[in-house]
Amino acid sequence: MGALSELTAPLFLSIEIGIDPVAFELGPLSVHWYGLGYVAGISIALFFTLRYARERGLNPDVVWEIVPWAIIAGLVGARLYYVVQNDPIGHLRDPGSIFAVWEGGMAYFGAVFAVTAVILYFWWSRRYHLPRMLDVTAMFALMGQPVGRIGNMINGDILGPPTDRAWGFVYTHPDSFAPDMTTAYHPAGLYLFISGLILIGILYPLRNKLAIGWFAGAYLVAYAISQLIIFNWRTEPVYWGLQQAQWTSVAVLAVVAVVAVLALRRGDRPWAPQRAQA
C-alpha cells in the first residue's frame, strides 16, 4: 500500500479495514455484509419491540401487523431521502441508480418520516393507540440501528474527512466505498455505532419511567442531537452553516418541542406514575 498523505496518520497508527463488502455469493446473488446487518438489526429490534409492546399495553399482534409495512416503508424512505439529498437530477437522468442500494446510500431520517407515515395510517384506519405505537416504534429504531452501522463500517460508505488521528480507518479492499485506499478517514460509521450504544444506555432504562408517548419524543430528541454532533465529522454539502441532516435534526427538534409544549399544556406529564409499593 502506498504512503499515506500528510493529512493522515502513519500506517501503523491507523486501522486497516480490508474486508470484502460482499459476505458470500449464492450463484448470481451477492450477499453483502450491509444487508446481513439489516437482517440482524431488524431481528434484534423485533425481539425487544415485542417485549416492550406488552409492557406498554399494546397487543403484539399489532406489531406483527405493522412491522412488514414499516420495514418496506423505512427502506424506501431512507433510499429516496438519500436520493433527494445527493444529486436528485443525476438520479432522475439515470432512474436505475435510484434503486441501486448495493452501491450505498440510505438516509436514516427518510426512514423515520416514512415509518411515521405508516404508523399514522394504521392509527387513522385501525384506531390503534397512537402514543403506544410511537413508543414501540421508537424502541424498534433504538435497538436495531447500531447493528446496521456495522455494515457501514465494513463498506466504508459513511466516512468523514481525512484524519491524522490514530483511530482513522484506511480501507484497503478495492470494492470498498472509500474514495482512496491510502488515506485514513474519520470513521463516521463507527461514531454512529457508538452514539447508538450511548442512546441505548440512556434511553432503555427510561423506557417505562417515561409516560406513554414521551419515550418516542425522547428518542427523537436524543437522535437528532447525536446527528447535530456527529455530522461535524461528515463531508456533506453545507447550507447556511449546517449540513442537510443537521437542518433536518433542527426541524425534528422544533416539531418535538411544539408537541411537548402542547402536551404539557393539556396536562400530560413526561414521567409515568410510579406503582405503589406493596
Q: Which residues contact 6 (CB under 8 A, 6 or more apart)?
A: none
Measured distance CA(245)–CA(247) in Å, rounded: 5
| Pairwise pLDDT comparison (118 vs 167), residue with the higher score | 118
58 pLDDT exceeds 60? yes
pLDDT at 8 exceeding the cut of 50:
no
**How many whole angstroms separate alpha carbon 146 and alpha carbon 235?**
21
* Residue 87 CB neighbours (<10 A): 12
| Ramachandran category for residue 206: left, alpha or beta (phi over 0 → left; psi -120 to 50 → alpha) | alpha
Q: What's the grid cell of residue 207?
A: 423506557
Q: Give the three-class secondary structure for 71.
A: helix
Q: What confidence tier does 34 reach under pLDDT thresholds 50, 70, 90?
A: confident
d(CA 233, CA 188): 7
Is the pLDDT at 1 greater than 80? The verdict is no
pLDDT value at residue 209? 95
The runs of H, that is alpha helices, within the chain are 33-55, 60-85, 88-93, 108-126, 130-155, 188-203, 214-230, 244-265
Q: Give the separation between CA 255 and CA 217, rounded to whole angstroms.
A: 10
Q: H or E element: which one contains 266? A: none
What's the first-to-final CA gap in the chain, in angstroms?
67
Higher pLDDT, 219 or 16: 219
Q: Give how far Cα 16 sits from Cα of 19, 21, 173, 234, Å.
A: 9, 14, 9, 20
Q: Do 252 and 244 touch, CB atoms closer than 8 A?
A: no
> Locate cell 478517514: which residue?
185
SS3 43: helix
pLDDT on residue 35 = 86
Confidence class for position 277, pLDDT limits 50, 70, 90: very low
pLDDT at 99 over 90: no
Question: According to the model, what pLDDT value does residue 123 have?
Answer: 94
Q: Is 82 helix (H, G, I), strand (E, B) or coil?
A: helix
Q: What average pLDDT does the structure give for the chain?
A: 86
Mean pLDDT calculated for residue range 14-42? 88
Three cell numbers written together for 170: 484506511
CA-wise closest residue to 156 among 84, 197, 104: 104
- What confidence score (pLDDT) does residue 44 get? 95
What pLDDT, on a 0 to 100 scale, did the predictor assign at position 101? 66
pLDDT band at 103 (very low <50, low <70, confident <90, very high): low
Residue 2: is its pLDDT beyond 50? no
Q: What share of the chain is helix, strand, coil (3-state, %, to 5)?
A: 60, 10, 30
